[in-house]
Structure 1
Amino acid sequence: MNQKFTRTLGMLALGAMLLPVASCNKDLDQIPSYSANAEVVYKTAASAEQVLARLYATFAVSGQTGPAGSPDISGIDEGFSNYLRQYWQLQEITTDEAILGWNDGNLIYVNTLQWNADNEFVRATYDRIFYEIGLCNEFIRQTTDARLSERGVTDSDAKLIRQYRAEARLLRALSYWHAIDLFGGGPFTDENSALGVNPPYYTRQQLFTYVENELKNLDKGKVLLNPRQVYGRADRAMRWTLQSKLYLNAKVYTNTDRSADAVVYADSVINAGYTLTPTYANLFLADNNTTGANEIIFPITFDGLRTKTYGGMTYLVHAAVGRAVSASSAGINGGWAGLRAKPQLTSIINNTSATDSRKDMVFTRGQNPNVDTIGVFSSGPLITKYRNVTSGGKPGSDTVGDFPDTDFPMFRLADVLLIKAEGLLRKASPDKTTALALINQVRARATGNLSSHTNDLPALTGDGLDDVFNERTRELFWEGQRRTDLIRFGKFTSNYNWPFKGGVKAGADVPATRALFPLPTTDLVANPNLAGHQNPGY
């Protein structure tokens, strides 16, 4: 199969069944040693599950043979091209939370919010999103009831494949949400789209409506797995979490407040039996698939022996290590000395009680507390959030120390509790009492004692939104949420600055159009249907 990614989505006639499968789920580590056509691959649930594993793996790995050598997409170094790595960078190093000091290509312009439509890091994120959508479309296209009947799939296997199909639809909705949030509008295809035809442009409102309807309709008959049934799978709780996030940001996306709807779906998750992990740090260690399993709603899963990549958690663990933070403390064989924090982040993290353990992840020894130079690793505090050691202090399964076992918690309960708190404060009739209790529930866990009140906020300040914003900062820093939060709170392009924002050392406002990334020039050229639809300012 030609591995070069054609960026026009409608031209993506991908047979997902032809792709070698690399497992991203520890329960789906079946790797077929053959390539087969759709009539064979989708004939049994066992073989269809292998293709499903590839849909999950696309968030974690970068190509056909880990860690590098046969990339899914071209035009950028394979390690840089990884979905999670690029998504995290656009969400974090564009903000007050992180800076990446490497001098690679046009990376500096991502740090400074000065990218353009030819920036390879922006383009790689766009390509990854629509590559995943294309893979999901093909899986969904091949697993209709009519196709299963034509192939003589047994009733028991057909029932399982319908569940897998629902999971694929949910993963596709996740990627479309990323497209809505990062790029606004863009090319649209689903399983009914003709192959070999340029896809139409959908506005942000059109994509929002599509994802909203897809999420509402996708679990009719309760086909998806129940919450907490299988760790690492796209289940009903992931669906509810995605809906709550879509609605919490609806005012940004569609200019219509949907805070009340965000609260409804947050409640569905909260009532599903999840609990906060007693020790905050355990959520980000090599055994978080067990110690954090009852809080993590949807992870991007990694395994040091099975999911080898230079993106994903390999990047997040290695790139933050260097100088006085030793590689051995992070359970790896060497640091990459790239990622640091900005003082605005550490100021908010540290502005809490003495019992708050989240402060322990800010490392300042030998570091300049300010970011005076982008490319100097001593410039800015270090963050020790992600490590490849277990809660018992043992290193991960890769004894060489290259590739971590640590999973990335994309959705977790603490986030949902704060979504509900924010939604309650933004509703037409705010409920400050319940919102404060939710915030204090999260703050109590940070003390290591879920019943503790030593870290409580005694009351909300004003309308309470600054309190929930600051708590999201302390709880969710470096988890790929910051840019979206700053935009929703009106702090991303103006009203709040940080080092090198706008290319100015002290930080400066940037045009409001920077709240969206541009559609890449490559896709504008490849697909005439995108002509005239470039995002404003580019």
Structure 2
Amino acid sequence: ADPVVQDMVLQARTLRAMSYYWVVDIFGQGSFITEEAAVGENPVQKSRLDLYNWLKDELEDIVAKFKDSDMPVAYGHVGLDGAQALLARLYLNAKVYTDGKQEGWAECQKHCEEIIARHKGGGFNGSGLANHYLYLFCRDNHVYMPGGGNTAENEILWGLAFEPYYTQSYGAANFIICASITTANMDKNGFSMSSANYGMVNEWTCMHGRKEFFDKFTDGDKRSSLWLKEDDGFTRENTDYSTFNNGYATVKFTNLIAGTDGGWSQENGGIYGPVDSEGKPTMAANTQNWPDTDYPLIRLADVYLMYTECFIMGNVGDQAKALRYASYVSERAGQRAWVEGDLTADNILDERARELYWELTRRSDLVRHDKYTGGRYLWSWKGNVAEGNSINERYKLMPIPVQIISAQPEFKQNPGY
């Protein structure tokens, strides 16, 4: 068979696998149909366990076939790294997805190790991670994508490519950037902010963080260096969640052009500059309606943290590696290396929060650690109460959409809805 066609088939299967992964993660049971169904045949509803088992076998087969392929991964496409990272993430959540019938710690570690082996050698401390965290979320982050050119720091294992003229969307990076910024000069509230500082014309003034999240960070953490805090007129407390500066402005994704050593471009070739004494952008010479920032679906940093979590939660693997892999992530952010006493469930959950916020992992992480529902872990306005309150266990799964039930009344709704 034509290797190009085979590669396209594997990519299509990987895209489908990602869709079914979200069904398993968010809804549990779900509609299921493949190319083996007859033309016109309706989907069937499969249980979460059945979907998990199908997806596990499907991704194992995809990964095996990608390993046999010599096709390079084109920019904006998905290949072996993306498929295998998705499989590792599936195994990481195996106990949740199978209601305790299966555990996937060892399998997750195995696939993490294979990914790491392909990437280590360059980048931050030879880990393959990008040297500068915030560059992974700016308009130049295409260089860290598969086929993006920076093979020594090829950290984004699977990403969605966006270009302001050809892939205009209100989702992905555009949503994250615009939702986290505003254009306001409100002296009475003690703050000002401009979307132009982040390379954008548009701003949506809608997403700001919770104090429990801020408290996970210490001074000097590069992952929070673009946030606006008290000195900028924002408050730590979230007493009024509808007020934008009630809570820090948690800027992570931008449409800025990367400079050098973690700073932003001030050259004529770039459109942004100058920066203040803390390295934050202060004004833009030009802005855009649509960002050029790609959205990372799975990064190598996540793979390193998955290995460490498997050691902590599943008691598998090597302690020295677990410490070294978590340390790559924390030290890249300007924090200290992990020591043996850091290998706890709470610490790995917090490190994932710091590293992966706004990258589609937090809800799954909290469910896996049994801290999403109930009152075991509270945050501001959980349960619609300022100090946080318990929420019903049914929210571990979202309801099957009414359109699906209406189209196929034989489908069952999730418990509690």
* Equivalent residue number for residue 201 of structure 1: 45
TM-score under structure 1 length normalisation: 0.65
* Equivalent residue number for residue 398 of structure 2: 517
The one-letter code sitting in structure 1 at the alignment partner of 2:360 is G
* Equivalent residue number for residue 341 of structure 2: 460
Partners of 1:363 and 1:382 within 8 A in 2: yes
Q: Is 1:390 the equivalent of 2:257?
A: yes
Q: Report the CA distance shift for 1:195/1:509 in structure 2 as closer, same or farther (over 3 A).
A: farther
Aligned residues with identical type, % of pairs: 30
Q: Is 1:424 the equivalent of 2:314?
A: no
Q: Report the CA distance shift for 1:332/1:276 in structure 2 as closer, same or farther (over 3 A).
A: same
SS at match of 1:242: helix
> Once the two structures are superposed, what CA deviation does each residue of 1:463-514 show, in whole Å capped at 9, x if it has no partner?
5222211111111112111000111111100301112211222211111111
* Equivalent residue number for residue 3 of structure 2: 159
Q: Is 1:401 the equivalent of 2:247?
A: no
Q: Pairwise mapping of residues 13-412 of structure 1 onto structure 2 (< 5 A)?
A: 158-222=2-66, 229-254=73-98, 255=100, 256-273=102-119, 275-290=128-143, 294-322=154-182, 323=184, 324-350=192-218, 354-364=219-229, 365-392=232-259, 393=265, 394-395=270-271, 401-412=288-299
Q: Is 1:436 the equivalent of 2:359?
A: no
Q: CA deviation at 1:291?
A: 5.0
* Equivalent residue number for residue 147 of structure 1: none
Q: CA deviation at 1:358?
A: 1.6
* Equivalent residue number for residue 492 of structure 1: 372
Partners of 2:92 and 2:108 within 8 A in 1: yes
* Equivalent residue number for residue 475 of structure 1: 355
SS at match of 1:267: helix
SS at match of 2:298: strand
Inter-partner Cα distance in structure 2 for 1:262 and 1:232: 25
Moved more, 226-235 or 244-253: 226-235
The structure 2 residue matched to 1:534, chosen from 396, 413, 416, is: 413
Partners of 2:66 and 2:79 within 8 A in 1: no
Q: Report the CA distance shift for 1:318/1:228 in structure 2 as closer, same or farther (over 3 A).
A: farther
The one-letter code sitting in structure 2 at the alignment partner of 1:405 is D
The one-letter code sitting in structure 2 at the alignment partner of 1:496 is Y
The one-letter code sitting in structure 2 at the alignment partner of 1:384 is V
Inter-partner Cα distance in structure 1 for 2:358 and 2:255: 16
Q: CA deviation at 1:432?
A: 3.2
> Once the two structures are superposed, what CA deviation does each residue of 1:226-267 show, in whole Å capped at 9, x if it has no partner?
697433321111111011100000011111221011000111
Q: Report the CA distance shift for 1:311/1:428 in structure 2 as closer, same or farther (over 3 A).
A: closer
Moved more, 331-340 or 358-367: 358-367
> Once the two structures are superposed, what CA deviation does each residue of 1:412-442 show, in whole Å capped at 9, x if it has no partner?
1111000011112222456433212211111
Inter-partner Cα distance in structure 2 for 1:224 and 1:300: 24
Q: CA deviation at 1:297?
A: 0.3
Aligned residues: 369
Q: CA deviation at 1:355?
A: 4.1
Structure with higher RCO (Cα < 8 A, 6+ apart): 1
SS at match of 2:216: helix
Q: CA deviation at 1:273?
A: 2.0
Q: CA deviation at 1:400?
A: 5.6
Inter-partner Cα distance in structure 2 for 1:282 and 1:227: 28
Q: Which runs of 5+ in 1 are unaligned?
A: 1-154, 448-453
Inter-partner Cα distance in structure 1 for 2:105 and 2:35: 31
SS at match of 1:371: coil
> Once the two structures are superposed, what CA deviation does each residue of 1:377-408 show, in whole Å capped at 9, x if it has no partner?
12211111011011033349xx6611001011
* Equivalent residue number for residue 501 of structure 1: 382
Inter-partner Cα distance in structure 1 for 2:73 and 2:129: 17
SS at match of 2:341: coil
> Once the two structures are superposed, what CA deviation does each residue of 1:355-386 show, in whole Å capped at 9, x if it has no partner?
43123133212112122223221221111101
TM-score under structure 2 length normalisation: 0.83
Inter-partner Cα distance in structure 2 for 1:221 and 1:307: 30
Inter-partner Cα distance in structure 2 for 1:204 and 1:226: 34
* Equivalent residue number for residue 62 of structure 1: none
Q: Which runs of structure 1 show a deviation greater than 6 angstroms over 4 or more consecutive aligned residues?
A: none
Inter-partner Cα distance in structure 2 for 1:404 and 1:224: 36
Moved more, 354-363 or 486-495: 354-363
SS at match of 1:168: helix
Q: Which runs of 5+ in 2 are unaligned?
A: 121-127, 185-191, 260-264, 273-285
Partners of 1:355 and 1:455 within 8 A in 2: no
Q: Report the CA distance shift for 1:381/1:491 in structure 2 as closer, same or farther (over 3 A).
A: same
* Equivalent residue number for residue 87 of structure 1: none
* Equivalent residue number for residue 12 of structure 1: none
Inter-partner Cα distance in structure 2 for 1:485 and 1:303: 31
Q: Report the CA distance shift for 1:276/1:221 in structure 2 as closer, same or farther (over 3 A).
A: closer
